[in-house]
Structure 1
Amino acid sequence: MADVDPLTESWTPIQIEVMQRLREWAVGFGELHRHLAGWMRLPVSDANALGQITWAAEAGTPLSPAELSRQIAMTTGATTILLNRLEDAGHVQRSRESSDRRRVTLRPTPAAREHARRFLVFAGAEIAAAVRTADPEELRVVTKFLSRITEATGDANQRLEHGPASDDTP
């Protein structure tokens, strides 16, 4: 952990602007999730889970229920109930694909994938255009920066899972 107090550290205008743009992107991304929920006629939590399941499957790294629980910040019990709803509605399939037959893999159904694809075609045109027209070097710099931010966020979340040190408790 870096020995920096973000509340007392001096920030340059560009550093402040970067943090503001990251916050605005996070808010906008959350709003897109809410629109996806409406598009798919699902509660926001279910649409969020379905989005995580779909992106992971598209990336070739399908999720287990436990991994999904961590990503959507729900208990395993609540995630099981959510997955039952998604499965009953025909949005998700659970399968046992690994040699460890206890491990369950989550995948979107073809119908759910197609419905989400239609949403992305409708809602994602501007985002796709922004990425496709960006200079390759700009994309490399942004990717490197976002990787560092993601790693730092992961480190902070891991530290927070273990709770504050005894002298840090209020």
Structure 2
Amino acid sequence: MPDVDPLETAWNEDEVAVMHRLRDWAVAFDELNRHLGTWVGLSPSDANAFGQVLWAERAGTPLSPAQLARQIGMTSGATSVLVDRLETAGHVTRHRESTDRRRVTLRTTEAARAANEAFLGFAGREVAGALRASDDDEVRSALAFLDRMTTAAAAANGRLSGHERGGRA
């Protein structure tokens, strides 16, 4: 990836529009997540955690509490309390399913998966329709672009995690 100074680069209208659309998607997705929270009776931060656990489980890579903490930007202690709330509310369970019995993974409950499916059935029609209306080349191009943007953001986040406020190391 080229090293580009964002403050010294002349951006064209389409590049600026792309950044605005990415922001718009992030805002709209965050709002959908808040609606999911309301739908299943969770606060926005708990709904975010629930969504992370659900998507990881569906991808076949269930999260540990430590992985969840990193993904949602919370301390391990705060995440433990959050997972306790999700467990008490009947949304997730802790499992010791590996040969290392100390390793805990988080799984959603059947009732939570059913509630999420009901939400998606009601609220996911427009997003599913937009994706299905895209041709294969468009989807592949979007995937490649989003992969580059995600890699770039992850690299920036990695660099930032070692710096104090104001850019001091």
Normalised to the residue count of structure 2, the TM-score between the two structures is 0.94
Is 1:4 the equivalent of 2:25?
Answer: no
Partner of 1:76: 76
- Listed as ranges, the gaps of 5+ residues in structure 2 are none
Mapped to 1, the partners of 2:144 and 2:109 lie a distance apart of 33
The one-character-per-residue Cα deviations of 1:115-163 (angstroms, maximum 9, x if unpaired) are 0110011100000011112100000000000001111111111111122
Partner of 2:157: 157
**More displaced stretch, 94-103 vs 134-143:** 94-103
SS of 1:66's equivalent? Answer: helix
Amino acid at match of 1:169: R
**More displaced stretch, 155-164 vs 71-80:** 155-164
Number of aligned residue pairs = 168
Partner of 1:116: 116
SS of 1:94's equivalent? Answer: strand
Partner of 2:35: 35
5 Å matches for 1:18-167? 18-163=18-163
Amino acid at match of 1:123: A
Runs of 4+ aligned residues of structure 1 deviating over 6 Å after TM superposition are: none
Deviation, 1:101, is: 1.4
Mapped to 2, the partners of 1:147 and 1:86 lie a distance apart of 31
Amino acid at match of 2:143: T
Mapped to 2, the partners of 1:118 and 1:108 lie a distance apart of 15
Mapped to 1, the partners of 2:21 and 2:88 lie a distance apart of 39
Partner of 2:168: 169
Deviation, 1:2, is: 5.2
Mapped to 1, the partners of 2:113 and 2:29 lie a distance apart of 19
Identity of aligned residues (%): 56
Mapped to 1, the partners of 2:103 and 2:132 lie a distance apart of 37
Mapped to 2, the partners of 1:139 and 1:92 lie a distance apart of 32
Mapped to 1, the partners of 2:81 and 2:142 lie a distance apart of 38
SS of 2:94's equivalent? Answer: strand
Deviation, 1:97, is: 1.3
Q: CA RMSD in A?
A: 1.7
Deviation, 1:4, is: 2.4
**More displaced stretch, 154-163 vs 54-63:** 154-163
Deviation, 1:103, is: 1.0
Mapped to 1, the partners of 2:3 and 2:72 lie a distance apart of 29
Normalised to the residue count of structure 1, the TM-score between the two structures is 0.94
